[in-house]
Structure 1
Amino acid sequence: MDTLPDLVLFFLFLILLTFPHNVVANDSTGTGAVGVIVDQSCRRGKETKVAMDIAIQDVYHDMNHRFHLHIINSQSNPIHSAFAAKDLINKYKVQVIVGPQTWEEAQLVADIGNQARVPVLSLVDATPRWAADRWPFMVEAAPNNFIQMKAIAAIIDSWEWHRVTVIYEDTESSKAGIIPHLYDALRKSGVEIAHLLPLPPLVSSSSMSEELERIKQGQCRVILVHLPLPLATKLFERAKEMEMMQKDYVWIATDSFTNLVHSINSSSISSMQGIIGVKSYFPKNESRFQDFYKQFRKRFISEFPEEDNHEPGIYAVQAYDAVLTICQAIIESDYQEDGGHQKLLDTILESEFQGLSGKIEFIGQKSAPMNTFQIINVIGKSYRRLGYWSDAFGFSKSLVGKASNGSSMKCSLGPVLWPGCSLTPPRGWAVPAKAHTLRIGVPNGTTFQEFLTVEYKGSENDISVGGYAIDLFNLTVQNLPYYLSYKFYCFNGTYDELVKEVHLKKFDAAVGDISIVSNRLQYAEFTHPYTQPGLVMVVPARISRSNKAWLFMKPFTNSMWIITGVITIYNGFVVWLIERNHSTELRGSPLNQIGILIWLSFSTLFSLHGEKLHSNLSRMAMVVWLFVALVITQTYTANLSSILTVKKLEATVNNIETLQRSNAMVGHCRGSYLAGYLVDVLHFNRNNIKKFTSANKYAEALRTREIEAIFLDVPIAKLFVAKYCKDFIVAGPTYKTGGFGFAFPRGSELIPDINKSLLNLSEAGKLRDLENKMLEKEKCDGDDADGDDEEGSSISVTSYRVLFILTGGTSTVALVVYVVRCCRKLEDFMSQTTWKLMFSVIKHYRLSRKVSDVESSTNLPS
């Protein structure tokens, strides 16, 4: 009899083994059955399970409908998830399946659901676009997180980082979903992925350390992490041990980590200080969420007391909304087992309501994408919200009002605490421990040492280089957003051969006076021209024999002559008007007075003196005008003398047609493309072309008339004319060529950054400063002999503005005083005349009355 209890226990044990122990079902019966597949061994699965239980409870409370919730633990195993889906459909007759949460599980469950025509609501946030076409009964209940890649690209671009290392979980969903969107977003922002590091889900600590060491040895310090919470935690803890959570490092995390950052314990989060991340946003201030929050904490503490933090995250509210969507759809569709799945699916896709995670609606078989994310900064035992990013408005401190919106995180959000407790934004790169040194080839000698010079110190590889081209290249590299190690090597050969050496990867680049021409583009890729492009003709100069008939007009500009004439006539008019009452010579016929006025105006400059004037007003005007006239005449004399003594230079030959007609010899500087250009483009006879390798040889050949002209690239011509400014001059037009550039192998990743650096230097004026510095070294004495512009030496009105205002104002004051005096005299005269007229009228009136009285008295009757 003692063996009976043992047998009973044994059979009970067998029953337990055959029963799916990981199924949890409500005891009560109801109107629907919902299947759930989650991984309850991870934080995300725990939050999902609790949130779904609360959703079922709320549906019963609010809608008076009871649902069975069959939950199976997938243990994050795709095979387990597939068998669980079959059991839920065949054994438990569920009307819909919600979950799982990884793409590897979801595609197997979707395939089974599609065969059985049972709707499957996937909680995967990185589902490929083609999934809906392949599985019509799969619904994406969680918004995809592809748009967050734009937010990450905006963060990187905001701080002007140009390269990023990406660490991601080596899964199919990452390769097919996230990484392509990340590539696209970074490419549009001009950011390069320096290194892609896929980590297997079960990566060993030693392998992880090796990969992190490779990153540490490199120069890129901006690291983007797209890993689930357990793997990310392991990575950050290892990075801290390797001193990679220090100053100058940048760690950016996606929402696969940040969405669960609230659940990290204090010991682990200490390894993550200074991380910035993109976190999914959902509203937390509404009363519905507050009720859910209280229920969640109470139930979560009860079911999972081992967890340190009991707050719900985005995965909890999404699971709650998914179950709520299913239950509402089952009720509205009046679900019947036979043929009801399609109607239920249609009802789910037509759902539209305000859930805990935001507005719930579907576009096709996809949940509406999430467009707003939080930007967080891990500090202390938790994190600080820096602000928000939305696809429509960019960065903002708050979602209320758009005044602080902007495309730059640096400008729109608050200060960031970076790794190493630094408030200074990292530059994003560091000098690597083992940097690859680029081999930069330079030509052995150029026309001018100011442009490029090479000096041997000892061995062939031990050289010292300098000059404009070298200074500019050094400055360009220093302006790059990362470190670049390089060394110069001399090349004894033609420029074409140097470019071919770059093509053959014997040199990583070539620097010097290397012209950008079409035949070299097949071997190398050039930066933008760093000099003025073009080819010019330099010829001997001679003293100008231009017509000097109107040279007397050159001291003053046209406006100066006009203003001087106007002010002279005006002053003469004022003097004439004031003095005409005192001198009979200033009277006469109108024609005579006009002649006198003009004569008086201009003769005052030379002959009229103060004692000939009778009015103080005219004397006052004339004194000021004589002072101004003295200054003007003396300046005119001095400037005319200067113009007559300065030599003006002109070209002996003004165009190439003259050279071609006379069959003259011409030369060109070092550079293999020039001979072909002169023959094929400018049509010179090949036998009339000579090559020269130094500036002294140019000058000697031109002086002895061995050649009549020499053709030089614009920057070389500037140096040559600056050195021999009294002897030679640039003549004719500038012929279009490519200019000088730095040569790199075709497809070089450095080209865009070098071009941007050159552009920044040009906009800052540093290119012109370097060029001026180079030209000043070759500037010869008497540089004014190069033919200054005669118009530029003429004196303008601006130089005498104050004097003209002074004399014009003085004459005007004299004129006004004179007119006022005349008006007063006229008023006195009119006043006296008026009284006399009134007395005459009164006297005449009285006399008339007396006559009338006499006549009346004589006519009386007797």
Structure 2
Amino acid sequence: MDLMDSQKVEAILGPQTSEETSSVAEIASKKQIPVLSFADATPNWATERWPFLLQASQNQLAQMKAIAAIVQSWEWHQVTVIYEDIDSSATGILPHLSDALREAGAEIIHVLALPHFPSSRLSEELEKLKGGQCRVFVVHLSLELAVHLFEKANKMKMMEKDYIWITTDAFTSLVHSINTSSISSMQGILGVRSHFPEDKPKFQDFCKRFRKRFGAEYPEEDNNHEPGALAVQTYDAVWSVALAMKQKSEKLNQKLLRRILLSDFDGLTGKVEFMNQKVAPAHTYQIINLMGKSYRELGFWTYGLGFSDTIIDPKYNYSSMKDLGQVFWPGAPWYTPKGWTLPAKDQPLRIGVPIGSEFQQYVNVEYDELRNFTYFGGFSIELFKALVEKLPFYLPYNFIPFNGSYDDLVKQLYLNNFAGVVGDVAIVARRCQYADFTHPYTESGLVMIFPVQKSGNKTLLFLKPFTRAVWILVAVISIYNGFVVWLIERNHWPELTGSALHQTGTFFWLSFNLHGEKLHSNLSRMTTLVWLFVALVISQTYTANLTSMLTARGLEPTVNNIETLQSSNAIIGYSRCLGDYASDLKSRKTGAVFLEVAEAKIFLAKYCKGFTVAGPTYKVGGLGFAFPKGSPLLPSVIEALLKVSESGKLRELETSMIASEKCMEVNLHDDDDISSLSPSGFWVLFVLSGGISTIALMLMLALLKHWENHIKQQFNRRVGQEESSGISSDTHEARFVLSLNIETVA
């Protein structure tokens, strides 16, 4: 403040951090002195609080998008950010980089903030990064701190193959000033730096004067004295203030601020102008590749246009950096690093496999106690093995059985208990919050399976209305009723006399052909009346059921869509194996079964003669392999899965799986048996008829017993009378029999 008062300061240039900027801006705003800051970013609230604060450095958004475009070009999906622990980096770099990476399909998985001065904990932090899986590092550090970082990383063998280092403009714009010994530890680094129109005379003149003056003031430095981005931006900022101060006024400070904001001239960085108290952002960045004793210029990236070989009238713009040519990577591998690796301890990946899959054709887990060995088989397992063979790198893994629900299995990925899940895992929305899935490796869709009508043998169709038990009961009750009538009426019908064979035939005829008008006894009439009523009910029921069967055989199945199931309140069941599905449909416990298309193929292959698919295919996710969210392995697995599919191996495995199923002949829901009426519906009628016949039989036997006693009394009385008259016993017996016959006929 004393400096501002004593030296009559009219403008301040130079704060490079948010902390410095806020301190200076607070004081300068009270004095109404413009402050031009070179911090990475100035938040909107800062310019509102301090109206005399201007951001002279270019916005970092475009640079972060350039870095994200590089990451996207090489299909890297996870990034570790190393930045200097100052407030401007946290507020100006990380938010823009995070948003840009998210748009490019990548994410920041780890952030390492380093103190401004090198510390002993750097080795410890790098060791943690080395032990992780991510191998893509974005470095936003000052020159001195970045050099220290790369020298340390080189000693820890983190500048070798499979590592990717990308530096921002803060370091890249000054690589020309790094000595040869230091740059040898930075081989393969990709750098992004601001592009300046170096071919223009104004820029060349500035560089010439800069090198001359810098060499004079710092003769101990190397001969390569090129101006960095900060020097160029500072030069333009000074010109903005100088041009604004040409016109004096009484209210100089307010006028100066206004004229600075109205700056519009061609500076070293290009067009210089301010928007919302911030210098207009750069749109073009140059990409360089450190190699040998210096670096190689790969090309350019322009906001809204993409990559190009040159900035002056480029013939083509590319969406991918791959089109700029071969990159010299750390460790000089001939292949492009995949951006991730297995943990340093080289432990195999733990791949979870579900136990108890309802379709063991997909996943079959068996444990051999004698050999202490767990067998993993099935379509999904074989497909994953084929997929691993297509990966461009070696992938060690172990299958780990998991006994639990599929949802719990997927959640294990979220809990970092597994590195992947292989099995017949359906891709559904509720699981996507815990894991990422590959593309479906089976046909996607949900279909409805229902039993088909079976024509069967119509030769004995007339017997189907009743079950065998009913027919037996009808025969038994008919014979029994006929026997009772025969027994009662045998002395009244001449047809009921004769030989045993003749009487047997007449007996069976009476069982099924009773004539009420010929009956003489009231007991036989009562028996016949009840039996005729029962026979009428049975015959009408038989006719109705037979008609229903004949009609049903000519109808189309009524279950052909989900709306029919809903309207009929049919039960949709869940089972754990194919046999349960078949038996439930057979017994009509369930109206239909919904299965994935892939599972339906297996079901229909096994029960090919009893079921069919009805209705539309309802779109669902299908079956896929699951990995932790943001897993760097997922893109490579998806690509390998496509290769397996395109090679025909996927169809070969599927065909082999389905062909292994032998068609089973299943007597599915025989409608005739189900529709046949059982004795439970007629037991009252049978009991009524049998009971009446039994009562009639008992009454007849009681009457016969009564007659027998009555006749014996008469016989004994006559014998006594005739013995007194002198008649022989033979004569008595003949007369008794004659009188008995006469009474019976009467």
TM range (shorter): 0.5 to 0.7
2:614 maps to which residue? 732
1:287 maps to which residue? 201
CA distance in 2, matches of 1:655, 1:422: 66
CA distance in 2, matches of 1:690, 1:323: 77
- Say if 1:537 and 1:709, in contact at 8 Å, map to a contact too: no
2:500 maps to which residue? none
CA distance in 2, matches of 1:422, 1:763: 24
CA distance in 2, matches of 1:133, 1:443: 59
- Say if 1:161 and 1:481, in contact at 8 Å, map to a contact too: no
Equivalent position amino acid for 2:79 in 1: V
Q: How does 1:236-315 map to 2 (within 5 A)?
A: 236-308=150-222, 309-315=224-230
Change (3 A) 1:354 1:245: same
Which has the higher Rg, Structure 1 or Structure 2?
2
CA distance in 2, matches of 1:101, 1:408: 33
1:761 maps to which residue? 641
**Structure 2 residue 655 is the aligned partner of structure 1 residue 655:** no
Change (3 A) 1:459 1:507: farther
2:569 maps to which residue? 683
Change (3 A) 1:678 1:436: farther
Change (3 A) 1:755 1:694: farther
SS of 1:765's equivalent in the other structure is helix
Shift of 1:530: 4.4
SS of 2:102's equivalent in the other structure is helix
Equivalent position amino acid for 1:95 in 2: E
* Equivalent residue for 1:166, pick from 54, 78, 81: 81
**Structure 2 residue 69 is the aligned partner of structure 1 residue 154:** yes
SS of 1:208's equivalent in the other structure is helix
* Structure 2 runs not aligned, ≥5 long: 458-552, 666-746
SS of 2:61's equivalent in the other structure is coil
- Say if 2:211 and 2:226, in contact at 8 Å, map to a contact too: yes
CA-atom RMSD in angstroms: 4.1
- Say if 1:536 and 1:733, in contact at 8 Å, map to a contact too: yes
Choose between structure 1 and 2 for higher RCO, CA contacts under 8 A separated by at least 6 residues. Answer: 2
SS of 1:175's equivalent in the other structure is helix
- Say if 1:296 and 1:311, in contact at 8 Å, map to a contact too: yes
CA distance in 2, matches of 1:423, 1:498: 39
CA distance in 2, matches of 1:118, 1:461: 81
Equivalent position amino acid for 1:427 in 2: K
Q: Deviations over 1:627-667 (max 9, x none)?
A: xxxxxxxxxxxxxxxxxxxxxxxx9995354999xxxxxxx
* Equivalent residue for 2:267, pick from 326, 351, 355: 355
**Structure 2 residue 104 is the aligned partner of structure 1 residue 189:** yes
* Equivalent residue for 1:101, pick from 16, 23, 28: 16
Shift of 1:712: 5.6
Equivalent position amino acid for 2:602 in 1: L
1:582 maps to which residue? none
Q: Deviations over 1:191-238 (max 9, x none)?
A: 12121111111231x311111111111121111111010000000000
Q: Deviations over 1:699-748 (max 9, x none)?
A: 7898x9899987362322212333454x3452422563746545979xx5
SS of 1:300's equivalent in the other structure is helix
**Structure 2 residue 296 is the aligned partner of structure 1 residue 384:** yes
1:341 maps to which residue? 253
Shift of 1:246: 1.0
SS of 1:774's equivalent in the other structure is helix
Shift of 1:359: 1.3
Change (3 A) 1:301 1:319: same
CA distance in 1, matches of 2:432, 2:199: 63
CA distance in 2, matches of 1:741, 1:391: 40
1:417 maps to which residue? 328
Change (3 A) 1:233 1:544: farther
Q: How does 1:664-675 map to 2 (within 5 A)?
A: none
* Equivalent residue for 1:722, pick from 597, 602, 605: 605
* Equivalent residue for 1:693, pick from 561, 564, 577: 577
Change (3 A) 1:682 1:268: farther
CA distance in 2, matches of 1:194, 1:501: 19
1:534 maps to which residue? 446
Change (3 A) 1:389 1:128: same
Q: Deviations over 1:597-654 (max 9, x none)?
A: xxxxxxxxxxxxxxxxxxxxxxxxxxxxxxxxxxxxxxxxxxxxxxxxxxxxxx9995
Equivalent position amino acid for 1:265 in 2: N
CA distance in 2, matches of 1:292, 1:692: 80
Change (3 A) 1:544 1:680: closer
Q: Deviations over 1:294-317 (max 9, x none)?
A: 222221111111221322222222
**Structure 2 residue 90 is the aligned partner of structure 1 residue 175:** yes
2:367 maps to which residue? 456
Equivalent position amino acid for 2:10 in 1: Q
* Structure 1 runs not aligned, ≥5 long: 1-85, 546-650, 661-676, 786-862
CA distance in 2, matches of 1:716, 1:652: 31
- Say if 1:280 and 1:373, in contact at 8 Å, map to a contact too: yes
Shift of 1:178: 0.8
Q: Deviations over 1:106-146 (max 9, x none)?
A: 22111111111111122334323332112111122222223
- Say if 2:558 and 2:564, in contact at 8 Å, map to a contact too: no
**TM score, norm. by length of structure 1:** 0.58
Q: Deviations over 1:562-601 (max 9, x none)?
A: xxxxxxxxxxxxxxxxxxxxxxxxxxxxxxxxxxxxxxxx
Q: Deviations over 1:38-94 (max 9, x none)?
A: xxxxxxxxxxxxxxxxxxxxxxxxxxxxxxxxxxxxxxxxxxxxxxxx243112112
Shift of 1:276: 0.6
1:429 maps to which residue? 340
- Say if 2:561 and 2:615, in contact at 8 Å, map to a contact too: no
Change (3 A) 1:475 1:134: farther
- Say if 1:317 and 1:357, in contact at 8 Å, map to a contact too: yes
2:522 maps to which residue? none
CA distance in 2, matches of 1:444, 1:395: 50
Change (3 A) 1:468 1:325: same
- Say if 1:468 and 1:771, in contact at 8 Å, map to a contact too: no
SS of 2:341's equivalent in the other structure is coil
CA distance in 2, matches of 1:360, 1:500: 54
SS of 1:406's equivalent in the other structure is coil
CA distance in 1, matches of 2:134, 2:121: 20
- Aligned pairs, number: 565
Change (3 A) 1:441 1:223: closer
SS of 1:417's equivalent in the other structure is coil
CA distance in 2, matches of 1:763, 1:445: 30
* Equivalent residue for 1:217, pick from 131, 136, 157: 131
Change (3 A) 1:358 1:138: same
Change (3 A) 1:652 1:124: farther
Identity across aligned pairs (percent)?
Answer: 46
CA distance in 2, matches of 1:423, 1:522: 36
CA distance in 1, matches of 2:20, 2:359: 70
2:490 maps to which residue? none
- Say if 1:516 and 1:526, in contact at 8 Å, map to a contact too: no
Shift of 1:766: 5.1
Change (3 A) 1:770 1:171: same
Q: How does 1:514-553 map to 2 (within 5 A)?
A: 514-515=425-426, 527=437, 530-531=441-442, 532-537=444-449, 539=451
2:659 maps to which residue? 779
Q: Deviations over 1:666-717 (max 9, x none)?
A: xxxxxxxxxxx9987873258xx7957345x777898x98999873623222
- Say if 1:538 and 1:717, in contact at 8 Å, map to a contact too: no
Change (3 A) 1:149 1:436: farther
Change (3 A) 1:750 1:486: farther
**TM score, norm. by length of structure 2:** 0.67
CA distance in 2, matches of 1:114, 1:690: 73
- Say if 1:237 and 1:271, in contact at 8 Å, map to a contact too: yes
SS of 2:337's equivalent in the other structure is coil
- Say if 2:379 and 2:657, in contact at 8 Å, map to a contact too: no
Equivalent position amino acid for 1:537 in 2: I
SS of 2:423's equivalent in the other structure is coil
CA distance in 2, matches of 1:692, 1:329: 82
